[in-house]
Amino acid sequence: MLYYLFTYNLPATEMLMLVLAYLIAIVFALMCHELAHGFVAYKCGDKTAKLEGRLSLNPAKHLDFWGSLSFLFVGFGWAKPVPINPLNFRNYKRDMALVSISGVITNILLAFLAVPLFMLCSRLDPSNLFFVFLTYLTMFLVVINISLAVFNLLPIYPLDGFNFINTFLKYGNKFSQFMYKYGSIILLVLIITGLFGFAFNYVANGILDLFLMFWGLMF
């Protein structure tokens, strides 16, 4: 992904702002995603994430080295999974589902709120480098948060989509057993080969178009 950014024919200063905006957006999106998991788990009765310092706005508490590198160079990545103990939940199925989907909802909400900021920043004076930086930052906040949400909705272990669906399946079912055994391999193959790239882009672009249409009607 960084290689793709460097293919833009931009002045050095603007290129630096582009890359910096991309990095900030990644860190913010991943941090909020994991923080949402921990916060919802805490509200559902599980203090594990809080006791391990994961209810924090410190990015270092959430970022995974290899997951961050993957996001930088491949376009997909992950953060450190938030530790939870479902035995502490007040209602196992309900709370497990809420915790599983909370990260995705957070990213969708962040992207939704970033769209009008991008629309505003893109209308500011393009000769002002600070305004250019804000335009890049809000653009990446939209794109990365939507991408992270759609990616995590895949029903493949260990993604949130699988955890959400698995909550409602019978214990020991064949789908879950298969995913626990091969999910990570399937995910790796999909990422490396780009097999689901078209469907991914179609869904992500569809969500973005809906957000743009909504906010376009508001302004």
Pinpoint the alpha helices (H) of 44-128.
48-51, 65-73, 92-121
Enter the DSSP assignment of 60. G
Judge whether 34 counts as a catalytic residue.
yes
- Contacts of 157-160 with C-beta under 8 Å, sequence gap 24+, read 157/183, 157/184, 157/187, 158/81, 158/183, 158/184, 159/187, 160/100, 160/101, 160/103, 160/104
Alpha-carbon distances of 211 from 113, 183, 204, 208, rounded to whole Å: 9, 31, 11, 5
Find out whether 29 and 145 touch, Cβ atoms under 8 Å.
yes
Which of 25, 26, 32, 34 is labelled catalytic?
Answer: 34
**CA-based nearest residue to 104, from 53, 139, 155, 58:** 155
Packing angle between helix 12-43 and helix 92-121, nearest 10 degrees? 150
Find out whether 111 and 149 touch, Cβ atoms under 8 Å.
yes
Tell me which residues are annotated as active site: 34
